[in-house]
Amino acid sequence: MAVIRSVIRGVGAYLPKRIMTNADLAKIVDTSDEWIVERSGIRERHIAADDELTSTLGIAASHQALVRAGIDPVDIDLVVCATATPDRTFPSTAVRIQSGLGITKGAAFDVQAVCSGFVYALAVADNFIKTGQSSRALVVGAETFSRILDWTDRATCVLFGDGAGAVVLEAQPQHGARDDRGVLTTLIRSDGRFEDLLYVDGGPGSTKTVGHLRMNGREVFRHAVQKISGVIEEALVASGYTADEIDLFIPHQANIRILDGIAKKLGIEQDKIVKTLEKHGNTSAASIPLALNQAFEEHRVREGSLVLMEAMGGGFTWGAALARW
């Protein structure tokens, strides 16, 4: 039976020029390159310049994705931006990306699911496309986490970085078969009982300030492998695939031990995992499209590749998506 699927037409990314190494961090807080690498796998991260906003990063990544897709921005009718670090409380960063690209039709809005934001935004855009409400969508993950870090807290400030990534989705008729191209399955989950394990201690409606990121790293770690593996297994069953059929595994880049733990639990070989956290740190909603972009530039993803994406973040929120390139 013919169905409409969201086919990924292009991917793009942007990283701010300034690189902060672990050695740079050791000058600010009581830490060491050895500790950070051993516990997280991170060696360096990019930090946005003062005049670069989340939308600046998102526009640059989107522009590259549109050029690669060969699609004119005026033909985009949906912009969904996943971010926990919007330029302003309102309007959404998505409308700023929309106007920055010269898009004037359709709708633009943000999705807030922290590190799971890209999987959430992909799920939203895919459902708009499948129901016929959008024909070409831009899905962006863009963050400037450097602006919400407590630079005196060594347990958190060493883990995050800034960046953006974007994909262009296009509605295309497919056969409704398991080897279709496009987004095959998205599953998103949340459980607000875990809010206090990872949050920002401010907001316009509470403290009237932006606040800083707070995290119980050990507890987050404990939940991550179990929750993410569970939703991936559900996504595989829903799409009729097994883990050994995955060509490329694009995990959210939070911690090397989390993503290797998930791959091991599911039996996904090391050479199928895309890892960017050594150079990017955890860029929250931007980490999956940044990793997709790296895989594209390294020719590791090609037409027909079966790609598995997953993430977990504050809330908790978590989710998985399966797509054929």
Report the residue number, 137 or 224, with the smaller CB distance to ligand ACO.
224
Instruction: Give 4's contacts (C-beta < 8 A, 6+ positions apart).
Output: 129, 130, 132, 171, 172, 173, 174
User: In the complex with ligand ACO, which residue's Cβ is closer, 10 or 161?
Assistant: 161
Q: Find how far residue 17's CA is from the centre of its chain.
A: 20
Among residues 157, 252, 280, 293, the one annotated as catalytic is 252
Among 4, 71, 221, 278, interactor with ligand ACO by CB under 6 A: 221
Q: Which stretch binds ligand ACO (CB under 6 A): 32-40, 94-102, 264-272, 290-298?
A: 32-40
Say if residues 129 and 171 touch (Cβ distance below 8 Å): yes
**For the chain, what percentages of helix, strand and coil (3-state, to nearest 5) are there?**
40, 30, 35
Footprint on residues 56-85 left by ligand ACO (CB under 6 A): none
Q: Residue 144, interface with ligand ACO (CB under 6 A)? A: no
User: What H or E segment, with its residue span, contains residue 237?
Assistant: helix 217-239
Residue number, 26 or 238, with CB nearest to ligand ACO? 26
Closest residue to ligand ACO using C-beta atoms: 217
Q: Which listed range, 29-37, 166-174, 183-191, 200-208, lies at the site for ligand ACO (CB under 6 A)?
A: 29-37
**Is 282 tagged catalytic?**
yes
Only segment of 34-42, 91-99, 120-128, 295-303 that touches ligand ACO (CB under 6 A): 34-42
Residue 17 as a binder of ligand ACO (CB under 6 A): the answer is no
C-alpha–C-alpha distance, residues 209 and 33, integer Å: 32
Does residue 223 carry a catalytic annotation? no
What does the alpha-carbon distance between residue 160 and residue 254 come to, in Å, rounded to a whole number? Answer: 8
**Is there a contact between 77 and 105 (Cβ–Cβ < 8 Å)?**
yes
Q: Is 214 in the site for ligand ACO (CB under 6 A)?
A: no
Q: Which stretch binds ligand ACO (CB under 6 A): 64-72, 154-162, 187-195, 291-299?
A: 154-162
Give the residue with the Cβ less far from ligand ACO, 248 or 262. 262
Among 6, 7, 10, 31, binds ligand ACO (CB under 6 A): 31
| Residues 254-293 close enough to bind ligand ACO by CB under 6 A | 254-255, 258, 282
Q: Residue 10 CB, nearest distance to ligand ACO (Å)?
A: 26
Backbone dihedral region for residue 41 (phi beyond 0: left; psi -120 to 50: alpha; all else: beta) = left
78-82 and 136-144 strand pairing: parallel
Contact 148, 211 (CB under 8 A): yes
State the SS3 of 10-40. EEEEECCCEEEEHHHHHCCCCCCHHHHHHHH
Say if residues 282 and 149 touch (Cβ distance below 8 Å): no
Cα–Cα distance between 62 and 25 in angstroms, integer?
30
Q: Is 115 a catalytic residue?
A: yes
Question: Which residues have a catalytic role annotated?
Answer: 115, 252, 282
Binding residues (CB under 6 A) for ligand ACO: these are 31, 35-36, 39-40, 115, 154-155, 158, 198, 215, 217-218, 220-221, 224, 252, 254-255, 258, 282, 312-313
